Structure 1
Amino acid sequence: MLSADRFRFVISRIKERLWVKPLVLCVLSIGGTFIAKLADDTGLSSVLPEITLESVESLLSIMASSMLVIATFAVGSMVAAYASASAGTTPRSIPLVIADDVTQNALSAFIGAFIFSIVSLIAIQNDLFDSAGRFAIFVLTLLVFAIVIITFVRWVDRIARLGRVVNTIEKAEKAAGDALDRRRHAPTLGGLAVSPHQAGDKGVPVCSSTVGYVQHIDLETLQSCAETLNCRVMVTALPGTFVSTRRPLLRIVGGIGESIEGCETFKPDDFSGAFTISSNRAFEDDPRFGLLALSEIADKALSPGINDPGTAINVIGTMVRLFTLWQSPLEKDKLRAITYDRVSVPELVIDDLFDDAFTAIARDGAGIVEVSIRLQKAFCALAETDDNAIVTAAKKHSRMALVRSERAMSLQDDIDAVRRAAAFSAP
């Protein structure tokens, strides 16, 4: 059965498909036309106002001709926004731009209104409705007009910003923040933390049959399989890990003094089926991917062809907010309880998060004094937190960034300014 966690992941994947909402609206539009026919069976014809056939046909004809043009214009604008996001930021941000709710709702409303008007016009011209049905179609048409106008006004404001660098950074920050917050509430995804004696090559490895990135792990399936075989599972590939047919997804340890090797009921595919593997990474369960996407945006802005250090500085501030969120206090009652006591999952390593977030910026911004100083100030702010792991990582990366700046800069005054900003991390 589909677990609640996997259902959430599947829904998030569906939201990235541009055709889903328009298809739903098309079905509702066709259904609305035939539902209006039910008004003829209510006996309200004598009390409802009489609507002429010509007025309804006129409204539907105007809607049919205008909605097709607007829908075509909407698609063109969206494609231009996607191209802008890919060229100005990073191709990894495209799923975030495509998943924009306002844009999807606008396209769905335009196409749905077009389908509604066409189907209703055909029904009207073939005398499907009596007076009550015509009144119902007239009311539905006015309602659709109102929805389209409101949607269009909202969409015009959104499409003017969709795909722009600042808007894409905001979307990437939200995606990374949501993923970090979920992992903060469930550091081991509801499983046990990996203990020292479970490390190494102990247990039976289960590898993937495909090559790609782990997008999601269904721990409920792993728990069920482990209970069936009376064994324990240690996950070795977290979401975001690149796996091959030789890279273990997990290791299985049998019961006390037992091994599951050779067991007739042991089916590796049952365990590997809990892992969703794709050619691309996904933001929902992979906090590192969100940090990496933001880092790529900053790194691209630092390239000689774009030369936009302000964007890199903006991203550095975003990183500080995300790491502040990560180490902020969490009430015990909001921490996810251990639900899967037969599955062990490693926690995220702060050093890895810092590598994803800051290494590229420190490397390619080493020769730009304003970026280097802002980066050191960011490390200083993170070093003042109460999280020892973050403090250690911030000081380590501060020293590494200082070395890069000293080698990349030629003006001594710039080097001295960066050294002063990095004085907090001196050993």
Structure 2
Amino acid sequence: MNAMVSVDRVRFLVNRFRERLWVRPLTVCLLSIGAAFVAKLFDSTALGAYVPAITSDSIEALLSIMAASMLVIATFSVASMVSAYAAASNTATPRSFSLVVADDASQNALSAFVGAFIFSVVALTAAKNDYFETAGLFILFALTVLVFAVVILTFVRWVDGIARLGRLGSTMDKVEKAAGNALIRRRDAPTMNARVARARPEGATVFATTIGYVQYVDIAALQTWAEAVEARVVVAALPGTFVTPDRPLAYVCDADRDGRADRSGQVADAFQVGDARRFEDDPRFGLVVLSEIAGRALSPAVNDPGTAIDVVGRLVRLFHQWCEPAAARDADSPMYERVEVPRLSVREMFDDAFTAIARDGAGQVEVSVRLQKALRSLASIGDASVRDAARHHRALALARAGSALDQPEDLAAVRDAAGDNAK
């Protein structure tokens, strides 16, 4: 089962580490400690005869300034990041928190500031104890100047980034990008490089052992197990599914009964179950989060229809990406021929994206009009499933607007946006 480690599995683990704030600063700290001692290696070379002599006092002065300032800046950056995280949860939705935490610019800035502080403390301690000779002092001086330059450039870039971090527009951009990446990945591999699942699978049922959301399914591990017992595995719970001990994760078909009984527990281990949904393997989650942002904007306490209209436009872009031609693949020879995976339901994707907006924005003519125009555009796409789902939601949104709008002129504007053939 563990013999094959797929690229998707590595990607999933790397993304989990990216969400940990301590990983990148710790890595930079270790590199900083190593860099402070690299200078000593040059003392054993003839470099000292060719480089100018640098006094230890000048280097100590620079390192002292860096040590005194970097810890303050690092503390300030952490406080700013925490404020941005709180703003993202309050203005957008708490489900966007993981994307804001994984922001590369903020993590790089914090890592640079903490790393510079550690470098200056270690190098200053070594210099005050006459650890370096002529060549070592010169290399240490060059490294100090380099660290200063990196810190200044990082700070300038970070000031621009922290001004946007946690703001509603920036958070929406991150959610749209995450949703788009997940949609493109699933569009190019609708069944995760496995076979298409049968409508009614038959076989031994594998149930979940924990309660939570399926975050990732290791198809490569399922393939390895299925080959070992000469079975077929039909996945019943895609990433994003909420599972309980009575909810099937998969069905095992055609396996030897003894081998299946002894090793079927390994099938459940291929399903990563956690407390929250993740963006990268769950395309529907990004649609849900965007819909939540629009729903909060349409609440009476916020009353921001412009944000809801912006979300509708983003959803249209995402579904247009979904309908773009996928990478050419041979459907008859999938990579994992012993695993079957169901396709995503386009109707359910539209439910995630547009139901809440149509419900909460039914009483606001500008939102209803924009929603009808968006669904009318999606209904013109050649993809039959998207076209049918768009027409269905056009009719639902029009019915909700008819019940919520009091002015005949407003309702007429919505009907005109829907078109004469809305059904």
What TM-score do the two structures reach when normalised by structure 2? Answer: 0.97
Correspondence for 1:81 = 84
Which whole-Å CA distance do the structure 2 matches of 1:358 and 1:336 have between them? 34
Which whole-Å CA distance do the structure 2 matches of 1:331 and 1:268 have between them? 34
Contact (CA 8 Å) 1:395, 1:425: kept in 2 or not? no
Contact (CA 8 Å) 1:190, 1:336: kept in 2 or not? no
Is the alpha carbon distance of 1:141 and 1:335 closer, same or farther for their aligned partners in structure 2, counting shifts above 3 Å?
A: farther
Is the alpha carbon distance of 1:120 and 1:265 closer, same or farther for their aligned partners in structure 2, counting shifts above 3 Å?
A: same
Deviations 1:169-197 (A, max 9, x none): 1100000000000001100001000133x
Which whole-Å CA distance do the structure 2 matches of 1:161 and 1:318 have between them? 19
Which whole-Å CA distance do the structure 1 matches of 2:377 and 2:175 have between them? 22
Q: Determine if the alignment matches structure 1 residue 180 to structure 2 residue 183.
A: yes
Which letter maps to 1:60? L
Contact (CA 8 Å) 2:229, 2:260: kept in 1 or not? no
Is the alpha carbon distance of 1:426 and 1:264 closer, same or farther for their aligned partners in structure 2, counting shifts above 3 Å?
A: closer
Correspondence for 1:235 = 235
User: Cα distance, 1:43 vs. partner?
Assistant: 2.2
Which whole-Å CA distance do the structure 2 matches of 1:398 and 1:425 have between them? 10
Contact (CA 8 Å) 2:41, 2:136: kept in 1 or not? yes
5 Å matches for 1:52-201? Answer: 52-196=55-199, 199=200
Which letter maps to 2:232? R
Q: 1:328 aligns with which of 324, 327, 342?
A: 324
5 Å matches for 1:414-425? Answer: 414-425=410-421
Which whole-Å CA distance do the structure 2 matches of 1:254 and 1:402 have between them? 49
Which whole-Å CA distance do the structure 1 matches of 2:269 and 2:342 have between them? 19
5 Å matches for 1:18-417? Answer: 18-196=21-199, 199=200, 202-255=202-255, 260-263=256-259, 266-332=262-328, 338-417=334-413
Deviations 1:363-412 (A, max 9, x none): 00010000000000000000110011111100100110111111111111
Contact (CA 8 Å) 2:188, 2:327: kept in 1 or not? no
Is the alpha carbon distance of 1:63 and 1:337 closer, same or farther for their aligned partners in structure 2, counting shifts above 3 Å?
A: farther
| SS of structure 2 residue aligned to 1:289 | helix
Contact (CA 8 Å) 1:186, 1:335: kept in 2 or not? no
Q: How many residues align?
A: 420
Is the alpha carbon distance of 1:127 and 1:425 closer, same or farther for their aligned partners in structure 2, counting shifts above 3 Å?
A: farther
Structure 2 spans left out of the alignment, 5+ residues: none
| SS of structure 2 residue aligned to 1:266 | helix
User: Cα distance, 1:416 vs. partner?
Assistant: 1.3
Contact (CA 8 Å) 2:378, 2:386: kept in 1 or not? yes
Contact (CA 8 Å) 1:186, 1:336: kept in 2 or not? no
**Once the two structures are aligned, what percentage of the paired residues are identical?**
54
Which whole-Å CA distance do the structure 1 matches of 2:258 and 2:335 have between them? 29
What TM-score do the two structures reach when normalised by structure 1? Answer: 0.96
